[in-house]
Structure 1
Amino acid sequence: MASGQQLSAIKGSKVLMVGAGGIGCELLKTLALSGFQDIHIIDMDTIEVSNLNRQFLFRQSHVGQSKAKVARDAVLRFRPQISITPYHANVKDSDFNVDFFKQFSVVLNGLDNLDARRHVNRLCLAADVPLVESGTTGFLGQVTVHIKGQTECYECQPKPAPKTYPVCTITSTPSKFVHCIVWAKDLLFAKLFGDKNQDNDLNVRSNDAASSSEHSEDVFERRKDEEIEQYGKRIYDHVFGHNIESALSNEETWKNRNRPRPIYVKDVLCDELLPRNGNLDKVPATDNLSSLSAMAYLGLKNPQDIWSLKENSRIFFAALNLFFSKRQEDIGNLSFDKDDHLAVEIVTAAANIRAASFGIPLHSLFEAKGIAGNIVHAVATTNAIIAGLIVIEAIKVLQNDTKNCRMTYCLEHPSRKMLLMPVEPFEPNKACYVCSETPLSLEVNTNRAKLKDVVEKIVISKLGMNLPLITHGSGLLYEVGDDLDEDMVANYAANLEKVLSELPYAITSGTSITVEDLRQELVCNIIIKHREEFDEEKEPDGMVLHGWTPVPAVENSKDATTTINGASTSSASKSTPTDMEDDDELIVVEPGIETIPAGKKRKLSDISNSETETSTDDKQAKKISQKLEENSDVTILDGGNGDISKNISR
């Protein structure tokens, strides 16, 4: 039962929810039932069938409608007296600026990506509004509180970098099934159905007579009057046969690796490519083209079965046939979509055929879709637990009871019957460039790198700025905005193509530049350090940004320990989950270990349970410590929607 003080704080508050998916549905319900009277919701997504098993405010009839608006209508049916304002929009839209955020008492995040989270964090800092972050992935969950000047901000501790794979590994020497998925999704699918003008290693030709014929244009261009079946055979033989043979010609590559085997149509499908003589007329007509299925056409029913090489090959040809016969208008403009069943089928089949070539175990459609679409199923009860914790922390914030705020982790394997592990928040990180305005340093070859490289790879990609403005001293080098005249736009466009040392206000070693984002009201100083060479594999950007990572913990644990129920454990090896989302897409970033700066301690709060209040011996303390570490080794970015992206990129 809420106290009179709590009820007063709740009823007098104005709350902003960002995200109306897995956690968001539970959160909106809990806020409404807890007495909150004025709630605003921002969510840019529409409802999909895959949402319905856990986002309980939505029904089949709502598919295709705005999540924010449907969630509002559903809650108002049992709490008609409260005010809920939905926005079917992107939180990064210009309408949601600092002034917009200033009207709220607290902001509650349930997002599914780092970029939007960082954006909201910066707006909350600029508006001086407390932020409560959250996330779930399976049985794991977390809630964190961020108050300007009192606790760390969302970006005080660096988030683990997305898992990436070198292009040469993907195209030439795959050793894991995920490499084959990335190849099939980002290279082959893009070449077949996306922009035909893109250039990648799939264009490599062998010395085969067919590839040196009069048809020397792009291999993936369908020739005039070429039958779909013949086109499919040519593509199959090229990517699974000729390209492998071409790779095998480099003997040095295979000295210490298992040699792949080329696979050709004639080796796998001695009979017809498709049963029923390739008759696609039996495929039912449908307005929902993304529901077309090669599996259904071939009579394969169980997505958890692992298809044979022959079955994968037939799926490949059937899916290709369906794309060109039923979705011809889409060809040239498609990008991979995990909700496009036909796209998932052809990517699964292609990845499995390539895996067979390189001696990698084959995977089922269910497994392949999980990897390609970055899916891990959400647990509805975890979403409900986390939503409850969000409201508890929000009430503390509204009562200015910040000393009792906790970052709480929901554990998969409870320690000593403790499902929830509360931890005192960090103080602000003095090295954080977002909330402490600490300068960063950028190593770059100032004689080769262009301003465009810095803007794209550093300012936008790594610093997360949307409308950057770059100055050197009193000189303005770059700006984005709708109010710029044509001359200014042309001038900045010209600057983008110039190397740093040749800009009107030259950037050389020792130069300090200022980068601002006017919408986020964020200012960051970057000190340039010239460097001649970079490792193409380890430093593919050709530049390295330093400065926002915390100081490494010292080896002597007295200055760098985490206290758990009275027992100390080294924090140097500890990693902590940091966020999650609430949509249908959870993003779990596979991870780097987050280290805790020396001299900073993170303590569990006192727990009003006689068992947990008692002192523990070293053995038991170590077990608790290990459990917390085991459940804190990933950064949870999901809002409880059920899809977790591992951010596979090339």
Structure 2
Amino acid sequence: MAAMFGGIVGQEPENTRYDAQISVFGSKLQNKLEQAKIFMVGSGALGCEFLKNLALMGISCSQNGKLTVTDDDVIEKSNLSRQFLFRDWNIGQPKSTVAATAAMAINPKLHVEALQNRASPETENVFNDAFWENLDAVVNALDNVTARMYIDSRCVYFQKPLLESGTLGAKCNAQMVIPHLTENYGASRDPPEKQAPMCTVHSFPHNIDHCLTWARSEFEGLLEKTPTEVNGFLSNPSVYVAAARTAGDAQARDQLERVIECLHGDKCETFQDCITWARLKFEDYFSNRVKQLTYTFPEDSMTSSGAPFWSAPKRFPRPLEFSSTDPSQLNFILAASILRAETFGIPIPDWAKTRNKVAAEAVDKVIVPEFQPKQGVKIVTDEKATSISSASVDDAGVIEELITKLEQISKTLPPGFHMNPIQFEKDDDTNFHMDVIAGFANMRARNYSIPEVDKLKAKFIAGRIIPAIATATAMATGLVCLELYKVLAGGHKVEDYRNTFANLAIPLFSIAEPVPPKTIKHKDLSWTVWDRWTVTGNITLRELLEWLKEKGLNAYSISCGTSLLYNSMFPRHKERLDRKVADVAREVAKMEVPSYRRHLDVVVACEDDDDNDVDIPLVSVYFR
């Protein structure tokens, strides 16, 4: 037995000493875990799983430790299937608060604070310098790249470890971002997702995804963006008109045209007006536009190379003929009418919410003018040669005419009139949003002989819902928590950490050491993205240039925010050289340093003695 453990009779066995060492190490690590100060951003599916794991690990369980979790979102019904700390009665409550309360039920000693702030530049008074400097690690549980990039930039700035993870269906990943050891999250980017060309979406769809992309765009344009534009004009007409004149371009003209159409040609005062609007939109989208398209490009059209224009993947469309006896068409008209009425604040009769004889009769009352295709209409295609060029338009002149017309229309509106923009919400089955989008998409699919989809399938595609798999979420959070032990224990080298990518559907497991940060060298100096040079004292611009000169760097430009404080090419800037950096920043960049910050950051462009540009770290001037 002694030989088995490599020991000698009469001596303490090696395994006993090893167990004792492990016990001491475990005790020290547990102490670090309990006193850890962790910032977790997000409390959705990943966040719930993280909170459960952190509670079980004993993270932040002493009075010196603290787990701060923030999320500005509230719980929705669709969250319950994958965010396991929430229950039916929590719907409508803040995610962070409910998740933190559930985590404390798992471990009552957990010292957690729940906030409802979005981590962004606008909340840096909440998550200020003192907050960031006091952290031991940051855990991301986010669902979008923009927020991840912002948190990554703050972790780089304050040199804090970031434990990044994400899931996509059966795929999951975990990335360790460790100061001075690994590259940061923003150092590498995934290639952008391929999107269908706009000409395909607008005129030549060949699958239901194209139809739903178009439907979502039209929904937002008609029911959210245009009413928002109307309110923008009504809230401050002079400012709105001045902005349109200043822009003077086609986009400004289009916006004015939409506002005028909404307040004049398409204005609704009764629910019957809303039905008329919806019925005419149906005719426009699914009959008239198709007739115009097939008139411009007949079925036997040829491309400039002599090939058939309507060859795969293009599908030759057929106009729809409306019938109130068609359940899908009638449902679309009624749903669109209801949402249009909401934007104008018009009461909705009960009969409008059900398909019945009264509803059908109301729709059949609408008089639809006959459509005649026009010559010379420009339709964008992937064949530039087939596009018919239109004469140039004097945008500025047209804008003046539109402004005059809009000012006349505004005088006819009742006092205090405003519209109610509708933001797309996929999870409420009673709000008719998905009824309109599914109707838009399926009617268009009929035009192009594309198989239609039910409302649930349409919700998944238009709502950009990616099914969450609990095992992928559990795996991602488990991998991160294993790495968190290393982060809090401290003293580890880059080869001790692991980045992981897994696809449970294949299955594929790729585990690798993190990539070190790129190192820039200049003479006997070297730095990475993690470095930030600091200068203490309320120095002048000249003193800053001299400080850099001592490092063998010739600074020729200094900027703060988006403003240029100094550039050697501008003679007048030399007058600023003997002024304090902070004073020049206040005057030129309008930079008022908040009370919780003791410094300001400047970006300096430098050259070496051979006139080669040298990218140096951010320079922080501590003047307080």
Q: Name the TM tier (shorter chain).
A: 0.5 to 0.7
Structure 2 matches for 1:323-472, cutoff 5 A? 323-324=339-340, 328-329=344-345, 332-341=420-429, 342-400=432-490, 401-402=492-493, 403-413=495-505, 420-429=509-518, 435=529, 468-471=561-564
Decide whether the 8 Å contact of 1:18 with 1:41 is kept in 2: yes
Q: CA deviation at 1:486?
A: 13
Match of 2:266?
221
Decide whether the 8 Å contact of 1:98 with 1:520 is kept in 2: no
Give the Cα separation in 2 of the matches to 1:84 and 1:375: 31
Match of 1:610?
none
Decide whether the 8 Å contact of 2:182 with 2:514 is kept in 1: yes
Change (3 A) 1:192 1:519: farther
Candidates 135, 148, 173, aligned match of 1:104: 135
Candidates 119, 123, 128, aligned match of 2:154: 123
Give the Cα separation in 2 of the matches to 1:364 and 1:522: 55
Q: Is 1:70 equivalent to 2:98 in the alignment?
A: yes
Q: Supply the AA of the counterpart residue of 1:406.
A: R
Change (3 A) 1:485 1:519: closer
Q: CA deviation at 1:355?
A: 1.8
Change (3 A) 1:356 1:24: same
Give the Cα separation in 1 of the matches to 2:89 and 2:599: 38
Structure 1 runs, 4 residues or longer, greater than 6 Å off? 215-220, 483-489, 518-522, 524-527
Match of 1:530?
none
Give the Cα separation in 1 of the matches to 2:475 and 2:599: 34
Instruction: Write out per-residue CA displacement over residues 305-346 of structure 1, whole angstroms, 9 at most, x where no aligned residue.
Output: xxxxx4432221121233245675396511322234311121
Change (3 A) 1:217 1:26: closer
Decide whether the 8 Å contact of 2:169 with 2:472 is kept in 1: yes
Change (3 A) 1:125 1:522: farther
Decide whether the 8 Å contact of 2:170 with 2:472 is kept in 1: yes
Q: Is 1:30 equivalent to 2:120 in the alignment?
A: no
Instruction: Write out per-residue CA displacement over residues 220-250 of structure 1, whole angstroms, 9 at most, x where no aligned residue.
Output: 7145665433322211101111122222333
Q: Secondary structure at the match of 1:52?
A: helix
Q: Is 1:13 equivalent to 2:105 in the alignment?
A: no
Instruction: Write out per-residue CA displacement over residues 136-186 of structure 1, whole angstroms, 9 at most, x where no aligned residue.
Output: 122211111001221111011123224444433322222332222122111
Match of 1:240?
286
Decide whether the 8 Å contact of 1:97 with 1:519 is kept in 2: no
Give the Cα separation in 1 of the matches to 2:27 and 2:71: 32
Decide whether the 8 Å contact of 1:126 with 1:520 is kept in 2: no
Candidates 330, 338, 355, aligned match of 1:314: 330
Give the Cα separation in 2 of the matches to 1:338 and 1:131: 32
Decide whether the 8 Å contact of 1:190 with 1:335 is kept in 2: no
Decide whether the 8 Å contact of 1:434 with 1:522 is kept in 2: no
Decide whether the 8 Å contact of 1:430 with 1:436 is kept in 2: no
Give the Cα separation in 1 of the matches to 2:451 and 2:531: 49
Q: Secondary structure at the match of 1:77?
A: helix
Change (3 A) 1:135 1:485: closer
Decide whether the 8 Å contact of 2:343 with 2:421 is kept in 1: no
Change (3 A) 1:358 1:332: farther
Q: TM-score, normalised by structure 2?
A: 0.59
Give the Cα separation in 1 of the matches to 2:586 and 2:73: 35
Aligned residues, how many?
416
Give the Cα separation in 2 of the matches to 1:430 and 1:170: 45
Decide whether the 8 Å contact of 2:565 with 2:584 is kept in 1: no
Aligned residues with identical type, % of pairs: 26
Match of 1:57?
85
Q: Is 1:230 equivalent to 2:319 in the alignment?
A: no
Q: Is 1:134 equivalent to 2:180 in the alignment?
A: no
Higher Rg: 2
Decide whether the 8 Å contact of 1:142 with 1:409 is kept in 2: yes
Structure 2 matches for 1:198-217, cutoff 5 A? none
Candidates 315, 319, 323, aligned match of 1:263: 319
Decide whether the 8 Å contact of 1:119 with 1:520 is kept in 2: no
Q: Write 1 or 2 for the structure with the bigger share of helix.
A: 2
Match of 2:245?
none
Give the Cα separation in 2 of the matches to 1:22 and 1:382: 11
Instruction: Write out per-residue CA displacement over residues 80-105 of structure 1, whole angstroms, 9 at most, x where no aligned residue.
Output: 22210111110112222444222111
Q: Is 1:84 equivalent to 2:112 in the alignment?
A: yes
Match of 1:445?
none
Decide whether the 8 Å contact of 1:20 with 1:68 is kept in 2: yes
Give the Cα separation in 2 of the matches to 1:355 and 1:159: 32
Q: TM-score, normalised by structure 1?
A: 0.56
Give the Cα separation in 1 of the matches to 2:108 and 2:90: 20
Change (3 A) 1:322 1:127: same
Give the Cα separation in 2 of the matches to 1:34 and 1:45: 26
Match of 1:575?
none
Q: CA deviation at 1:75?
A: 1.7
Q: Secondary structure at the match of 1:123?
A: helix
Give the Cα separation in 2 of the matches to 1:89 and 1:162: 29
Q: CA deviation at 1:43?
A: 0.9
Q: Is 1:170 equivalent to 2:207 in the alignment?
A: no
Decide whether the 8 Å contact of 2:261 with 2:267 is kept in 1: no
Match of 1:191?
222
Q: Secondary structure at the match of 1:3?
A: helix
Decide whether the 8 Å contact of 2:503 with 2:509 is kept in 1: yes
Question: Which range is displaced more, 93-102 or 386-395?
Answer: 93-102
Decide whether the 8 Å contact of 2:49 with 2:474 is kept in 1: yes
Q: CA deviation at 1:106?
A: 0.7
Structure 2 matches for 1:603-614, cutoff 5 A? none
Q: Is 1:144 equivalent to 2:189 in the alignment?
A: no
Q: Secondary structure at the match of 2:36?
A: coil
Q: Supply the AA of the counterpart residue of 2:423.
A: S
Question: Which range is displaced more, 373-382 or 191-200?
Answer: 191-200
